[in-house]
Amino acid sequence: MGFRIQATVFVGLLSQLAVSGWAYGQASDEALPARALTHEKSFTAPKATKAPKIDGDLSDAAWRNAARIDDFHQIEPEEFAKPSRQTEIWVTYTADALYIAAYMHDEAPELLRASQMIHGAGMRPDDTLAIILDPFLSRRSGYGFFTNPNGVRREAIFENVNQLNFEWRGIWQVESRVVEDGWVTEIEIPFKTLNFNPNLDTWGFSAIRRIRRENEEVAWTSNNRAVNPSSLGTVTGLNGLEQGMGLDILPSLSFIETYDHDTGRGDFDTEPSVTAFYKITPSMTAVGTANTNFSDAPIDDRVVNLSRFALFLPEQRDFFLQDADIFRFGGIDGNGTPFFSRQIGLSDTGAPVQLNLGGKLTGRLGDLNVGVLDVLQSAHYNRNGDYVDRSNLLVGRASMNVLGESTVGAIFTSGSPNSNDENMLGGVDFNYRNSNFFGKTLKTSLWGQQTATEGDSNNAAAYGLFVNLEGGEGLWLDSWYQAFEDNYDPHLGFANWTGIHNYGLVTGYTFRLSDSWIRSITPVFVYEMTRGEDWRVQSERIAMQPFWIRSSEGYEYRLRLRHEREVLDNSFEIVDGVNVSVGDYGGYRTNLMFMTPNSKKISGFTEWDLGEFYGGHRYSFDTRVDWRPNKHFLLGLGYAHHEVDLPEGDFITRLATMRANVAFSTKWAWRNYVQYDNNSDTAGVNSRIEFSPYAGRAFVFVFDQSLDVFEDWDIRAAQTQATFKLSYTLRY
């Protein structure tokens, strides 16, 4: 009965949304900002009679008849200036895939930066090429495909128009090589990898090239130094695109050996699982998963948390990242997020919880964007030792494209992943975007939510307004107002501070300098206030950033001065054995940061922060150094030190990390990550050997070792876990 009521409510929201948004959607083309139209470019891609071979050799006959574009312009350091080097792009397609070739001319190829050899890893230190696609020509969402002279793949989806989610994974192929006057690349993007509108022969398209040693970026299109779905040109002539059956099956088999050194007990499990992706239409994808475990998912970075609030950590699991942009709501990141996928498949202690069954439906129907997620989660124990029954967790999200670049939407959630309480949430949002607002981009989000737990919905609302004005130079600002009532409690979302009104302003001015070693200077002013439900002050922050200097080579220097005030009505334990007492605390702090260009063989950053802290003082030091002697090896060392002197007691926290990566080729990699913090007095060793001969096929061996660290550096093994996982995507 409960499920039928929930489904009826959500279907009602969908129908009302579709009806109310229809009139807005009719005017979407006419409402396109005039300034965006002046920056549009277009070309027609011919259909190839035979697909080119993806081998990094541009002599293939298919490229001779492909569309060619070479009218690139700078976006860094000076937008629309002439690039220092020529870039050529060729585009063609077959019924099955989009093909792109590129020639990045460079008179000194020996000076190219190409340090990354591991697929999916960041390429900020390298020369890169990025292809941006918007298959729905919505100017709100899209895909990004990135590569470097080594032929490394990295992909992303756009969220909230201009935010890239690099955790998304898609199947595509690329081969690159360095030639005598630059580097070339060939790319194949199967249409099975993308959602698109089969009745639309025009897609949003652009390309970006980074020339790392010059700290220069060039692009085919841009607006306010940004290249995102709102500023793309178009590629036309895309007809007769096919996805076959549209079925991807991803079976995997995990062998997991666990040994507890304290008890002397070992356990061996064989965990088969399967995930299937089926494109009901080219624009609508259904995903099903069974017996899913995330034993091979990347581990989280440890963070020393000296605040009284829980941290908002990023999602890293593929099942939840597919079409994750559809579930974004109201431009919220952090407190007040109505759906936070990390609540599913993880207990409130962070331990993995098996998903027995899971299903997801995501896609677009004209101007309507739809996402539904339903998961059956296994029973487990929460941090209080309570037994949590097997639970059904449901999320529904829909939004309508309106007013050229804007959306209006609704969200619904039901279920409680870490308790046996009944919990539901409903919310609506309106996200306005205008990329031609007096030469800037104006974004405004208005949203409201209501939760109900065990039938009680009193004082359980949340609502807010965000206003953002952005541009590559000159004035910019972020301002907001948010309210979270006492009983607001999204069990499938994230809320770490309720019973408050929070508002603030962050504004600055970016000065661009020409013919100088300084590329830009950005002074910033920050004001933030949080008040309780009775409007008494709970916290206040005033900050000045006199300068943030970025040099032409990529060095950065920043100074921040701030005054902070916190009013504690309840004490909290900041570290084991040290409680911060009730009181009204205020003080001044100074922060200084220095960062080197990450294109150097040795790069890193250093940050100092010192001043008053909860009636005492705190000195913090954080540094990281990366050494890249060649493209096969990376050694990264990090150390964070917090020295705190409080009336209730003194303490020092230390967090040390080490990364050591060896890339034997673009197919073989060995990654090691060691973390130690003296708060838990434990060290963790994560070692991964990854073999990926082809996108969508992977063999992963993961070795995790937990170590207890006692006084005088007496180190003892606590728990050992070894996981071997094979996964192979079958495409039909």
pLDDT digits (tens, 9 = 90+) for 441-472: 999 999 999 999 976 768 899 999 999 998 77
> Which H or E run contains 108?
none
Check residues 324 and 621 and name the one with the higher pLDDT: 621
pLDDT over 60 at 26, yes or no: no
By C-alpha distance, which of 628, 611, 613, 620 is closest to 593? 620
Supply 335's token pair.
């407190």
Domain assignment present for 63 = yes
Number of compact structural domains in the chain: 1
Q: Please give the pLDDT value at position 365.
A: 86
By C-alpha distance, which of 622, 511, 667 is closest to 152? 667
The helix/strand/coil state of 665 is coil
- For 149: left if phi > 0, alpha if psi spans -120 to 50, otherwise beta; the answer is alpha
The residue type at 682:
T
152 class by beta-carbon count within 10 Å (0-12 exposed, 13-18 middle, 19+ buried): buried
The helix/strand/coil state of 369 is strand
Task: Summarize pLDDT for 56-83 with one digit per residue, the tens.
Answer: 999 999 999 999 999 999 999 988 999 9
Tell me, what DSSP letter sits at residue 491? T
Domain assignment present for 699 = no
Instruction: Please tell me the distance from the alpha carbon of residue 189 to that of residue 170, in angstroms, as a whole number.
Output: 9
Instruction: Please tell me the distance from the alpha carbon of residue 534 to that of residue 426, in angstroms, as a whole number.
Output: 25
Instruction: Please tell me the distance from the alpha carbon of residue 450 to that of residue 452, in angstroms, as a whole number.
Output: 7
718 class by beta-carbon count within 10 Å (0-12 exposed, 13-18 middle, 19+ buried): middle
Q: Please give the pLDDT value at position 25.
A: 32
Tell me, what DSSP letter sits at residue 51? P
Q: Please give the pLDDT value at position 271.
A: 76
User: What would you report as the CA-atom Rg of the chain, rounded to the nearest whole angstrom?
Assistant: 26
Burial letters 372-394, b for 16+ CB under 10 A, else e:
bbbbbbeebebeeeeebeebebb
The helix/strand/coil state of 478 is strand
Angle at 154 between CA 235 and CA 228, to 5 degrees: 45
Query: Are 681 and 707 spatial neighbours (Cβ–Cβ below 8 Å)?
Result: no
Say how many residues make up the chain: 732
Instruction: Please tell me the distance from the alpha carbon of residue 587 to that of residue 597, in angstroms, as a whole number.
Output: 33
The pTM assigned to this predicted structure is: 0.83
Q: Please give the pLDDT value at position 267.
A: 78
Task: Summarize pLDDT for 644-674 with one digit per residue, the tens.
Answer: 999 999 999 999 999 999 999 999 999 999 9
Domain assignment present for 566 = no
Angle at 306 between CA 305 and CA 307, to 5 degrees: 95
Instruction: Please tell me the distance from the alpha carbon of residue 216 to that of residue 213, in angstroms, as a whole number.
Output: 8
Instruction: Please tell me the distance from the alpha carbon of residue 610 to that of residue 618, in angstroms, as a whole number.
Output: 6
Tell me, what DSSP letter sits at residue 488? -
Cβ-proximal residues to 267 (8 Å cutoff; 6+ apart), any chain = 257, 258, 259
pLDDT over 70 at 12, yes or no: no
Instruction: Please tell me the distance from the alpha carbon of residue 486 to that of residue 458, in angstroms, as a whole number.
Output: 9
Instruction: Please tell me the distance from the alpha carbon of residue 319 to that of residue 377, in angstroms, as a whole number.
Output: 14
Residue 362's DSSP bridge partners are 285, 371
The helix/strand/coil state of 140 is coil
The predicted model gives 91-99 an average pLDDT of: 96
Q: Please give the pLDDT value at position 385.
A: 84
Pairs from 694-699 (Cβ < 8 Å, separation ≥ 24): 694/173, 695/119, 695/153, 695/170, 695/171, 695/172, 695/173, 696/171, 696/248, 696/250, 696/728, 696/729, 696/731, 697/727, 697/728, 697/729, 698/725, 698/726, 698/727, 699/724, 699/725, 699/726
Domain containing 73: what range? 31-236
Cβ-proximal residues to 583 (8 Å cutoff; 6+ apart), any chain = 567, 568, 615
CATH number for the domain that contains residue 229 = 2.60.40.1190
Domain assignment present for 144 = yes
Q: Please give the pLDDT value at position 39.
A: 55
pLDDT over 80 at 512, yes or no: yes
Instruction: Please tell me the distance from the alpha carbon of residue 597 to that of residue 84, in angstroms, as a whole number.
Output: 20
Instruction: Please tell me the distance from the alpha carbon of residue 578 to that of residue 566, in angstroms, as a whole number.
Output: 18
The predicted model gives 607-622 an average pLDDT of: 96
Instruction: Please tell me the distance from the alpha carbon of residue 225 to that of residue 238, in angstroms, as a whole number.
Output: 28
Domain assignment present for 439 = no
Residue 141's DSSP bridge partners are none
Domain assignment present for 314 = no
490 class by beta-carbon count within 10 Å (0-12 exposed, 13-18 middle, 19+ buried): buried
Query: Are 520 and 550 spatial neighbours (Cβ–Cβ below 8 Å)?
Result: yes
Check residues 681 and 658 and name the one with the higher pLDDT: 658
Instruction: Please tell me the distance from the alpha carbon of residue 584 to that of residue 568, in angstroms, as a whole number.
Output: 6
The helix/strand/coil state of 13 is helix
By C-alpha distance, which of 340, 431, 145, 302 is closest to 706? 302
pLDDT confidence of 8, banded at 50, 70, 90? very low
Domain assignment present for 21 = no
pLDDT over 90 at 350, yes or no: no
Q: Please give the pLDDT value at position 201.
A: 95
Query: Are 500 and 528 spatial neighbours (Cβ–Cβ below 8 Å)?
Result: no
Residue 426's DSSP bridge partners are 412, 450
Q: Please give the pLDDT value at position 280.
A: 87
pLDDT confidence of 227, banded at 50, 70, 90? very high
> Which H or E run contains 434?
strand 423-437
Helical residues (DSSP H) of 312-451, grouped into ranges? 318-321
Domain assignment present for 53 = yes
Q: How far is CA 87 from the centre of its chain?
A: 29
Supply 543's token pair.
């900050």
Instruction: Please tell me the distance from the alpha carbon of residue 90 to that of residue 518, in angstroms, as a whole number.
Output: 36
pLDDT over 50 at 222, yes or no: yes
